[in-house]
Amino acid sequence: MPTTNRQVRLAARPKGLPTAEVWEHTTEELGEPGPGQFKVKVTHLSLDPAMRGWMNEGKSYIPPVGIGEVMRAGAIGEVIASEHDDFQVGDHVSYAFGVQEYAICDGDGAYTVDPDKAPLPTYLGTLGMTGMTAYFGLLDEGKPKEGETVVVSGAAGAVGSIVGQIAKLKGCRVVGIAGGAEKCAWLTDELGFDAAIDYKAESVGKALREAAPKGVDVYFDNVGGEILNTVLTQIRRRARIVICGAISQYNATEAVEGPSNYLSLLVNRASMQGMVVFDYADRYGEAAKEMAGWLGEGKLISREEVVEGGVDDFPETLLRLFRGENTGKLVLQLS
């Protein structure tokens, strides 16, 4: 039985990209679970753009990670010792265990997952918070109707790739915005998007006019910045803009760029709504059931990019998100 636990802690608030100096790598003694607790060996860590926001001081939808605290992260772990009636040795459990090799948990908010029904990384992606964000953000906030045009930025990422596929299932025309020819080809050739725009190689405004000649009914925004500004010029009357993320702004060292074209909301009687997945916690089961059905029927493709390494590889692996190097969901598998 292990006696020590390797962890990655937040040592300082980052300015710009979270480079090596903002992290502290620690090793501490590992205790045993008490009554009503269980201990897991963490096997998979979820890497998400939202992590960058959690490092910042200030008001947000969730308290920031404290200086000196283990970095917050969704994870999958295998139970190796238990004093909890609902979690048995050998169970695989999903919870925010954080960036560490082992964790002791009281079970509040944790739930078991079945590796025989889906690969474990999928429970951090399509069947985890990523999928829940896409599902509720599009269907409940975006409210797409059959025949409408849905545009998704960050479309080759974990959330965006699922949003586009759900929109297609609902009978919409779907346009994805992504960086690079390979990602754009994946969107159209494998995921069934009607069109994909490579923001690195072409004018987003011109390409969007060609891909969505009637305008945009629903825009699911994962990037913010100039792309949000551009899409706002091409929305239709009563359009719905869902603000899920703004990865283009997360590492900015100057003030965040707001949408200068916001008056388009007035002209088009459109709405812009922020979306946080935790607001739908009481309905996760409903979404997971439908998403699992779509996966089982082959109507939904789940892609997880799994990087193997140890907890000490977390800082560098996280940077892949902000360099646009991942396609689909990024997961660190602890070996």
Domain ranges of the chain: 4-125+303-334, 129-278
Q: Of 182-191, 227-236, 252-261, 265-274, which gets the smallest average pLDDT?
A: 252-261
Residues 125 and 133: beta-carbon distance below 8 Å: no
Considering the domain delimited by 4-125+303-334, tell me its CATH architecture.
Alpha-Beta Complex (3.90)
When pLDDT is averaged across residues 140-166 and rounded to a whole number, the result is 97
Q: Does residue 250 have a pLDDT over 90? A: no
What mean pLDDT do residues 88-102 have? 98
pLDDT at 141 over 90: yes
1-12: average pLDDT? 93
If we measure between CA atoms, which residue out of 115, 150, 114 comes closest to residue 134?
150
pLDDT at 21: 94
Q: Determine the CATH number of domain 129-278.
A: 3.40.50.720
Q: What is the pLDDT of residue 258?
A: 78
pLDDT of residue 1: 75
How large is the average pLDDT for residues 300-322?
96
Mean pLDDT of 266-287: 95
The predicted structure's pLDDT at residue 255: 72
The per-residue pLDDT for 249 is 77
**Phi–psi pair at 261, nearest 5 degrees:** -95, 25
pTM given for the model: 0.94
Mean pLDDT across 65-88:
97
Q: What is the pLDDT of residue 107?
A: 93
- Cβ-contact 39, 33 below 8 angstroms: yes
Question: CA nearest 212: which of 264, 177, 169, 163?
Answer: 177
Asked if residue 95 has pLDDT above 70, the reply is yes
The stretch 219-230 carries a mean pLDDT of 95
* pLDDT for position 60: 84
Q: For position 253, what pLDDT does the model report? A: 65
Asked if residue 59 has pLDDT above 90, the reply is no
Regarding beta strands 38-47 and 75-82, do their DSSP bridges make them parallel or antiparallel, or are they unpaired?
Answer: antiparallel
Nearest CA to 175 among 137, 148, 143, 136?
A: 148
* Percent of the chain residues topping a pLDDT of 70: 99
CA distance between the termini of the chain: 17
DSSP notation for 115-170: TTTS-GGGGTTTTSHHHHHHHHIIIIII---TT-EEEEESTTBHHHHHHHHHHHHT
